[in-house]
């Protein structure tokens, strides 16, 4: 299977734009790249603007398009900063609005060969005309925001579906034939190189075992793992998962349980 980068930085209700140069691509809740898994081991602050927060009004001063996303340098009041959202037509000098943003630091763009020291992943950028229509009715605006939040909260962390277990495998074996393992549980042992805790009701664990270069295998779990620890975890293999808010994966393990 040709593993391609998704990075849906739809940065969906937020998003999620995602460190492996050779494996499935991802938009991760910490410093990530367009064409790799997560490349940063640095802990980042995840800042989400609630649905009750008023819209940010920004003026675009610079536009950097990519094949799937668009990076925008914007001005809000006296402050200038970068945001990123799904690919869309954006005009320099015009005003746009958004009401959610996920802060990333040391965010690398492979297509532009640069690192953004600070950037906000935005699920939806709204034009001035659409914003006017949206805010005509406060109740309508609130209902749209509520649906966005509900979408996140309804993503299950566990399942009662009977899953066939396929035993212990290496990350290289999994990456080589992802379709073989899709929908089945496997056991993977490795070193936890990073943990993003309590995001969308779960912990996002990055594992490396040395069999697939520096590829980070992301595993979601309710277990609390310490960065640097060596663990064995059983989880269900899932492909092409889009959680919204930029959390989009070609390959991910879900509902992980630690094996003693």
Residue 2: count of CB within 10 angstroms of its CB: 5
Can you spell out the DSSP letters for 187-207? EEEEEEEEEEEEETTEEEEEE
Tell me the per-residue pLDDT of 159-215, one tens digit each, with 9 for 90 and over.
Answer: 445 678 889 999 999 999 999 999 999 999 999 999 988 888 888 999 999 999 888
- Looking at per-residue pLDDT, the higher value among 110 and 35 belongs to 110
- Looking at per-residue pLDDT, the higher value among 228 and 30 belongs to 228
What's the pLDDT band for 136 if we cut at 50, 70, 90? Answer: low
- The three-class DSSP label of residue 257 is strand
Tokens representing 94 are 């015009």
Q: What is the pLDDT of residue 139?
A: 46
- Looking at per-residue pLDDT, the higher value among 132 and 211 belongs to 211
Q: Would you give the DSSP letter of residue 118? A: E
pLDDT at 105 over 90: no
Mean pLDDT, the chain, rounded, equals 74
pLDDT at 225 over 80: yes
What's the pLDDT band for 224 if we cut at 50, 70, 90? Answer: confident
Q: What is the pLDDT of residue 132?
A: 63
Nearest to 218 by CA among 13, 27, 42, 86: 27
Nearest to 189 by CA among 233, 224, 223, 253: 233
Alpha helices in 177-259 (DSSP H): 178-181
Q: Per-residue pLDDT averaged across 17-29, rounded?
A: 42
Whether domain 157-258 has CATH 3.30.420.40: the reply is no
Domain spans of the chain? Answer: 157-258
pTM more than 0.75? no
Q: Which residue has the tokens 């664990």?
A: 205
């Amino acid at each position: 299977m040709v593993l391609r980068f998704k990075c849906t930085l739809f940065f969906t209700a937020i998003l999620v734009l995602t460190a492996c140069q050779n494996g499935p691509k991802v938009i991760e809740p910490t410093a990530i790249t367009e064409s790799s898994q997560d490349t940063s081991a640095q802990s980042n602050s995840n800042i989400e603007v609630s649905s009750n927060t008023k819209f940010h009004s920004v003026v675009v001063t610079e536009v950097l398009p990519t094949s799937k996303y668009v990076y925008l340098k914007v001005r809000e009041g006296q402050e200038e900063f970068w945001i990123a959202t799904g690919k869309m037509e954006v005009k320099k000098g015009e005003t746009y609005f958004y009401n959610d943003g996920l802060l990333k630091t040391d965010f690398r763009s492979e297509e532009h060969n640069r690192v953004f020291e600070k950037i906000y992943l935005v699920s939806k950028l709204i034009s001035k005309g659409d914003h006017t229509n949206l805010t005509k009715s406060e109740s309508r605006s609130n209902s749209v925001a509520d649906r966005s939040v509900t979408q996140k909260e309804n993503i299950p962390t566990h399942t009662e579906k009977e899953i066939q277990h396929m035993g212990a495998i290496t990350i290289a074996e999994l990456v080589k034939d992802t379709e073989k393992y899709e929908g089945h549980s496997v056991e993977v042992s490795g070193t936890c190189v990073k943990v993003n805790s309590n995001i969308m009701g779960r912990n996002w664990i990055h594992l490396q075992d040395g069999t697939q270069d520096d590829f980070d295998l992301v595993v979601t779990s309710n277990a609390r793992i310490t960065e640097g620890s060596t663990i064995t975890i059983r989880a269900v293999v899932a492909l092409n998962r889009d959680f919204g808010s930029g959390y989009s994966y070609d390959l991910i393990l879900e509902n992980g349980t630690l094996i003693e």
